[in-house]
Amino acid sequence: MANKRHLNLESITLMANSTRETYKAHAALLLFAFLVSTSFTIGRTITFALDPAALTFLRFSMAVMIFIAILVVSGEKLRLPDLRSWLRYFFLALLLVIFFVTMFEGLRWTTPIAAGAVFTLIPFMTAIIAFVGFGQKMKLVSFAGLLIASLASIWIMFNGDLQAIASLKLGKGEMIFLIGCVSYAGYAPAVQKLHKGDRLIYLTLWTLLAGAILLFIYGRTAILTTQWHLVSSYVYLSIAWLTVFTTAITFYLIQYAAVRLPSVKVMSYTLLIPAFILLQHLLLGGGWPDMPILIALGVLSGAMLVLQRS
């Protein structure tokens, strides 16, 4: 009898710990969505100051230095990964590099809120990739929620222009960023598949370092010819924000959540990003969008709640 009570107590404790970790993962994703939304607002203001590859390389490199400093201060020994682990990190990094380079390139041709709307297509893409590539199934109600959210995103992307939607005349910036979003959609399922028990700080560090190496190979001409001493202090401060908050911290947050929640639930938080972008737009003195766009934003938020409850 005592053993039975002991086992029940252990089960209750495990369930409580699991619930606590789930809530923490959701809180991490809410912060993730807000921080990511600032990258569209800030990225738009600096995208013409630097080549997208050079800008992203600096962002990744600074993030690598931050994580190395954290490890040094904490007294951790820095152990280099083996070859097989490097292959995992480089694959994850490639997905991120494609995403970030296309984001900054796309922001040269579109608005932050339109880019944010493209970003909200990621949960739908993630669901397809998770099912086709990793065998992760989802409920019909979840699929319906993603489909409705995708339609709302398309409405925002085309600014409510039915004629443009009918002719599928998507802008150049949205088309460029769409490629990056397809890449990023595979990131959460890939983390779940390739996560081999690595501590998150190491997973994040080595993925960022692999990304910096890939970026240097891809954009070495732009990186080496950029006159870094002529770059304004505002650009450096903006990159510092993007490095600390929307690179290092968001990478940690999404990887923290990705090993605790299903991929679709993780990526469903991206549906809140256009609303966060609109909030920043209003706080910076911008005007309200048309009512159809506001309704579409409301649909995105509602779809996110449906996906979380399903």
Handedness of CA 19, 147, 195, 241 (dihedral sign): negative
Could you please report the per-residue DSSP string of 152-197?
HHHHHHTTT-HHHHHHT---HHHHHHHHHHHHHHTHHHHHHHH--S
Strand ranges for 122-189 from DSSP E: none
How many of the other CB atoms lie within 10 Å of CB of 280? 17
What's the pLDDT score for residue 87?
92
Cβ within 8 Å of residue 41, ≥6 positions away: 112, 277, 280, 281, 284
Burial of 12 (0-12, 13-18, 19+ CB in 10 A): exposed
Domain boundaries, the chain: 51-309
Query: What whole-number distance in Å separates Cα of residue 199 and Cα of residue 67?
Result: 13
The pLDDT of residue 18 is: 67
Per-residue pLDDT of the chain (310 residues), as tens digits, is 555 555 454 555 545 556 788 888 888 998 998 998 898 888 888 988 889 999 999 989 998 998 898 888 887 777 788 888 899 999 999 999 999 899 989 989 888 878 887 887 887 787 787 777 666 666 777 777 777 777 777 777 666 666 666 555 677 888 899 999 989 888 877 887 777 777 878 888 899 999 999 999 999 999 999 999 898 999 999 999 988 888 778 878 887 887 788 777 777 787 778 778 888 888 877 777 777 777 777 777 777 777 776 6
Spatial neighbors of 129 by CB under 8 A, at least 6 apart, are: 185, 186, 189
